[in-house]
């Protein structure tokens, strides 16, 4: 009972929802990245590594140039470069995308520590670097509304960018030529090829977009609220994005809600740390809930498929698809 | 032609990795000679270092076997990570809390660790068969769940509060695995690993079920139509893989540690990926692949101790190797030219 009181206590604080949007941001950006790659038919498991490298590059570049914006560009460029390497191996040299992704993740986890040590002489975190943060933004008018202002205003600039990108990506898939080409290539490469779409080129563009989006999420991690890089700081968010992406099934708006579920769980986890629940149970909760939601979603899809087949059989439809 | 091509490709991948390593060392180090010497030849300098390589290859063999078996069946679960970590926690729990006589103690631990590892391994497989949930996605999430459960178990039941850092109480001496050679780190876990290698080789290549695994992996459609129960193959392979990884975690704990102090999940499951690839998912070659990776690991540790180059360099080498070895079209041009030459010769 006490736990329930703690939970309701957390849910009644506006700051809880603010934290929810904050925790959802890196997962959301990466989910969008995973989605663009996945819709083109490549499952991009390298997101975890790309995010880590971008987070690292953002900190280093901002520390050396003393410009947060240039640091951000560095992070995005890192995402661009790594996704190009991935694309070269997967598309040109026909490597298995998952295995190449694991290679990139291995490279990222060791490589960032290796270079961090070269620059700072430390392996844990970039505390000795004077890196900069990207700004928070107050939204005029909204910030003055009680409760809603506390929840929606004053976020990190990339949080707003992420939610704007939800609309952009949704629009891209629905209405633009590129979006339709990506979908066509993902659903049936042969058919796409036969109507003159260059499958290789479209897949390449999709992977690069996914790298750039993930680069932004890396920048959010190290140039957002924390303002430093620490080894392994992505903590599986790139993998979570694979799950939220799968739940979204290619719809950016559902991807946003799936990311918010994760944000909700990790915000709740933060609020319950002072309650009696063991810390580790709180830490594993977001992962467990994502598994449950994802499995439930898969079960629904499967059931609907079976139902449709049954209905078709009942109607006595003889034509075979 | 194909065998020769594979060999040449493998050699080129290694050459690229070595070249890159040397370039990196030369561009960052003030003592490149010492660094390179220790990385490549350090493990051969003394008997102790060489046997360290054998000892370090033990957990890599277990995860390499586990990953290789899952890959062979055409699936892609990373749950070996959770199985291995939990296997280690189980080993610690029984070694600390349940008093048992010599020899029986480790045997009980291995059986329980393998059983629990197998149960954990089955979860993503069952979710896949029952709900069509992608096993890679769920296994990656479950790795975090079981990692935190493991930390909780240690903290709640047998943590040593005096230790200063995260560590369990000391294992009972009856539970630890003896050293095979005194003065080295090599322990009897090596023999267990080799036994598992042989068993898995027999399973995959000499049994009917092994045949089903191979067919399901190489031609899933054919497997289905020829009456192979693919659901059973998916679940059983991942149970066996989980059991092997769980056993590996327990062996590593009892062989190398006196107390449980894995504050982070060790990267053995991810290393298992490169072992599986290098061995072509064939258990027979796993000891060699594991020895190779362990060799550079030990070399890299010596390098970072004796020169100014850090051992994380290995992960860069590892990544480059994985990328080039699995690149299907890598050097395809060379192969084509060779084949063309051969044909021309025959015509002339």
Span B145-169, pLDDT tens digits: 999 999 999 999 988 888 888 889 9
- Is B41 inside any structural domain? no
Instruction: Note whether B337 and B247 are same-domain residues.
Output: no
Same domain, B336 and B275: no
My answer on whether B171 and B184 are in the same domain is yes
Number of neighbours of residue B207 by Cβ within 10 angstroms: 11
SS3 A43: coil
pLDDT of A231 > 50? The answer is yes
Q: What is the pLDDT of residue A318?
A: 54
Q: What is the pLDDT of residues A89-143, one digit of tens each?
A: 999 888 888 889 999 999 999 999 999 999 988 888 888 888 888 888 777 777 7
Chain B residue with CA closest to A277: the answer is B152
CATH of the domain at A301: 1.10.3470
Listed in sequence order, the residues at least 6 apart from B245 whose beta carbon sits closer than 8 Å to its beta carbon are: B62, B63, B66, B79, B80, B81, B83, B84, B87, B117, B121, B269, B272
The CATH number linked to B221 is 1.10.3470
The verdict on a CB contact (< 8 Å) between A111 and B145 is no
Task: Judge if B5 and B113 occupy the same domain.
Answer: no
Q: How many CB atoms lie within 10 A of CB A279?
A: 14
User: The tokens of B37 are what?
Assistant: 């010497």
CA dist., res. A102 & res. A90, Å (int): 12
Number of A–B residue contacts, CB under 8 Å: 138
Average pLDDT for B9-16 = 88
Identify the closest residue of chain A to B312 by CA–CA distance. Answer: A110
B38 part of a folded domain: no
Tell me whether residue A309 is in a domain.
Answer: yes
How far apart are alpha carbons A52 and B195 in whole angstroms?
A: 39
At residue B344 the predicted structure's pLDDT band, cuts being 50, 70 and 90, is: confident
Position B109 in a domain: yes
CB contact under 8 A, A110 and B270: no
Rounded-to-integer distance, Cα A176 and Cα A154, Å: 32
Contact A298 B133 (CB under 8 A): yes
Beta pairing partners, B159: B168
Tokens of B334: 């060379």
Q: Where are the alpha helices (DSSP H) in chain B?
A: 2-28, 32-41, 47-72, 80-97, 104-131, 135-157, 189-206, 208-218, 220-225, 230-256, 268-278, 286-306, 313-326, 332-347
Contact by Cβ (8 Å): A167, A257: no
Rounded to whole angstroms, how far apart are CA atoms A277 and B324? 47
Q: What is the ipTM of this complex?
A: 0.88
Asked if the Cβ–Cβ distance from A99 to B273 is below 8 Å, we say yes
Residue B222 lies in a domain: yes
Asked if residue B97 and residue B2 are part of one domain, the reply reads: no
Q: Within this chain, do residues B19 and B86 fall inside the same structural domain, yes or no?
A: no
B78 and B196 in a single domain? The answer is yes
Q: Is residue A99 part of a domain?
A: yes
Contact B148 A232 (CB under 8 A): no
Does residue B113 fall inside a structural domain? yes
Say yes or no: B249 and B342 in one domain.
Answer: no
Selection from B81, B83, B146 nearest residue B117 by Cα:
B83
> What is the domain count for chain A?
1
Residue B187 pairs in a beta bridge with B179
pLDDT in tens, B106-129: 999 999 999 999 999 999 999 999
In a domain, A140, yes or no: no
In a domain, A321, yes or no: no
- Residue-number span of the structural domain to which A23 is assigned: 2-133+146-315
| A179 belongs to a structural domain | yes
Name residues 57-96 of chain B within 8 A of A (Cβ).
76
Say whether residue B263 is in contact with chain A using an 8 A CB cutoff: no
For B307: left if phi > 0, alpha if psi spans -120 to 50, otherwise beta; the answer is beta
Dihedral angle of Cα B339, B343, B345, B347, to the nearest 10 degrees: -170
Q: Cα separations (Å) of B299 from B12, B28, B37?
A: 21, 18, 9
Question: Domain containing B335: what range?
Answer: 1-29+312-348
The whole-model pTM stands at 0.90
Instruction: Please indicate, yes or no, whether residues B266 and B286 belong to a single structural domain of this protein.
Output: yes
| Residue B269 and residue B300 in one domain | yes
SS3 letters across B284-346: HHHHHHHHHHHHHHHHHHHHHHHCCCCCCHHHHHHHHHHHHHHCCCCCHHHHHHHHHHHHHHH
Question: For chain B, how many structural domains are there in total?
Answer: 2
Residue B40 resides in a domain: no
Which of A30, A110, A230, A296 would you mutate first to test chain B, the one with the most B CBs within 10 A?
A110
Tell whether B173 and B76 lie within a shared domain: yes
User: Which residue is it, tokens 């079209």?
Assistant: B329
pLDDT at A258 over 80: yes
């Amino acid at each position: 009972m006490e736990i329930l009181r703690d939970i309701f206590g957390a849910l009644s604080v506006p700051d809880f929802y603010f934290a929810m949007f904050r925790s959802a941001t890196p997962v959301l950006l990466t989910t969008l990245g995973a989605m663009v790659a996945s819709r083109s038919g490549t499952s991009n498991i390298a997101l975890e590594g790309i995010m880590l490298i971008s987070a690292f590059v953002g900190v280093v570049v901002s520390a050396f140039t003393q410009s947060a914006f240039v640091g951000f560009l560095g992070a995005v460029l890192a995402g661009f470069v790594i996704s190009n390497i991935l694309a070269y191996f997967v598309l040109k040299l026909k490597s298995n995308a998952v295995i190449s992704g694991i290679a990139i993740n291995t490279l990222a986890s060791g490589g960032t520590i290796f270079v961090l040590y070269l620059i700072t002489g430390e392996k844990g975190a970039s505390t000795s670097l004077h890196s900069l943060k990207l700004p928070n933004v107050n939204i005029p008018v909204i910030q003055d509304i009680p409760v809603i202002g506390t929840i929606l205003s004053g976020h990190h600039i990339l949080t707003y960018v992420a939610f704007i990108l939800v609309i952009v990506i949704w629009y891209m898939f629905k209405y633009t030529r590129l979006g339709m080409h990506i979908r066509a290539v993902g659903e049936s490469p042969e058919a796409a090829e036969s109507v003159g779409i260059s499958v290789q080129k479209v897949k390449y563009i999709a992977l690069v977009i996914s790298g750039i989006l993930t680069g932004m999420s890396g920048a959010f991690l190290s140039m957002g609220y924390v303002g430093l890089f620490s080894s392994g700081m992505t903590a599986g968010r790139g993998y979570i994005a694979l799950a939220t992406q799968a739940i979204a099934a290619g719809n950016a708006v559902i991807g946003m809600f799936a990311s918010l579920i994760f944000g909700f769980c990790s915000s709740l986890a933060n609020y319950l740390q002072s309650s009696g629940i063991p810390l580790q149970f709180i830490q594993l909760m977001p992962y467990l809930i994502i598994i449950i939601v994802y499995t439930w979603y898969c079960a629904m899809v499967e059931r609907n498929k079976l139902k449709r087949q049954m209905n078709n059989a009942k109607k006595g439809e003889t034509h075979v698809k | 032609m194909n065998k020769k091509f594979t060999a040449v490709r493998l050699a080129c991948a290694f050459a690229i990795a070595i070249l890159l390593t040397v370039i990196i060392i030369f561009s960052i180090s003030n003592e490149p000679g010492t660094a390179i010497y220790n990385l490549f030849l350090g493990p051969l300098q003394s008997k102790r270092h060489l046997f360290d390589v054998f000892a370090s290859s033990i957990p890599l063999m277990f995860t390499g076997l586990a990953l290789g078996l899952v890959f062979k069946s055409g699936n892609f679960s990373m749950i070996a990570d959770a199985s291995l970590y939990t296997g280690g926690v189980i080993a610690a729990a029984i070694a600390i809390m349940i008093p048992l006589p010599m020899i029986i103690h480790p045997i009980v631990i291995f059986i329980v660790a393998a059983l629990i590892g197998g149960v954990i391994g089955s979860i993503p497989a069952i979710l896949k068969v029952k709900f069509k949930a992608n096993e890679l996605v769920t296994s990656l999430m479950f790795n975090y769940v079981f990692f935190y459960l493991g930390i909780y178990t240690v903290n709640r039941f047998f943590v040593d509060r005096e230790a200063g850092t995260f560590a369990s109480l000391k294992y009972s001496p009856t539970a630890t695995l003896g050293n095979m050679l005194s003065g080295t780190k090599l322990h009897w876990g090596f023999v267990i690993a080799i036994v598992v290698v042989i068993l898995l080789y027999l399973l995959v290549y000499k049994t009917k079920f092994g045949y089903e695994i191979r067919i399901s992996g190489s031609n899933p459609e054919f497997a289905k139509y020829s009456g192979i129960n693919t659901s059973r193959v998916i679940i059983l392979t991942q149970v066996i893989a989980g059991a092997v990884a769980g056993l590996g975690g327990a062996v590593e704990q009892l062989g190398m540690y006196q107390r449980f102090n894995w504050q982070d999940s060790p990267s053995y499951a991810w290393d298992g990926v490169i072992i599986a690839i290098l061995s072509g998912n064939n258990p027979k070659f796993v000891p060699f692949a594991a020895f190779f990776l362990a060799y550079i690991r030990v070399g890299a540790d010596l390098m970072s101790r004796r020169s100014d180059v850090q051992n994380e360099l290995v992960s860069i080498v590892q990544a480059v190797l994985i990328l080039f070895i699995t690149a299907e079209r890598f050097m395809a041009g060379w192969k084509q030219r060779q084949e063309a030459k051969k044909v021309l010769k025959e015509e002339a």
